[in-house]
Amino acid sequence: MKGLVLDASLALEWFSDAASPASLAKRALLDEHVVLVPHLWRFEVMNAVTVWLRRGAVTQAHASWLLTELLSLPFAVVEEGDPEAILGLAHEHRLTACDAAYLHVAMMSGEPLATLDRALHKAAIAVGVTCL
């Protein structure tokens, strides 16, 4: 089975009221790929749901449901890798350290990256990582 690195931005989009048909179609990737995520993925997901809750975009009950759904997606948590390499990627491509960690996982694994983040997508293409 093929693998892919899943950025939190795409997974969160699947549960958004503003989800595009294109991003929803990418959810089928879960059926065809082993999904790899760095440890920070869970915290990025929890942080986004917390922000939605604070802004009143979701109720406490909906936030709890979202967390359950997002954290039960089939994924394998992998090590982010060398912090110096991640720092270098973040600096070179003007990424956050979190986004650079996704890029580094994709580079180390040789798997494509699934993201909605434009800067991360651009950096991935620049280093030869395929984006879905």
- For 59-93, the pLDDT digits (tens) are 999 999 999 999 888 899 999 899 999 999 999 99
Question: In terms of pLDDT, which residue wins out, 25 or 127?
Answer: 127
Distance of alpha carbon 83 from alpha carbon 14, whole angstroms: 30
The pLDDT, as a whole number, for residue 20 is 86
Q: Return the pLDDT at 17.
A: 80
- The pLDDT value recorded for residue 15 is 86
Q: Does residue 1 surpass a pLDDT of 80? A: no
Only one residue has tokens 């997974």, namely: 11
User: Is a pLDDT exceeding 90 seen at residue 33?
Assistant: no
Query: Does residue 108 register a pLDDT over 90?
Result: yes
Four-CA torsion 68, 70, 73, 79, nearest 10 degrees: -110
CA-to-CA distance for 4 and 102, rounded, in angstroms? 11
Q: How confident is the model at residue 129 (pLDDT cuts 50, 70, 90)?
A: very high
CATH superfamily of 3-127: 5'-nuclease (3.40.50.1010)
Domain residue spans of the chain: 3-127
Dig out the tokens for 54 from the structure.
Answer: 């604070």
Residues 6+ apart with CB under 8 A from 56: none
Q: How much is the pLDDT for 28?
A: 86
Strand locations in 32-112, DSSP E? 33-38, 76-78
Q: Using the predicted structure, report yes or no on whether residue 24 has a pLDDT greater than 90.
A: no
Q: In 10 A of CB 36, how many CB atoms?
A: 21
pLDDT at 128: 98
Q: What percent of the chain has pLDDT over 70?
A: 100
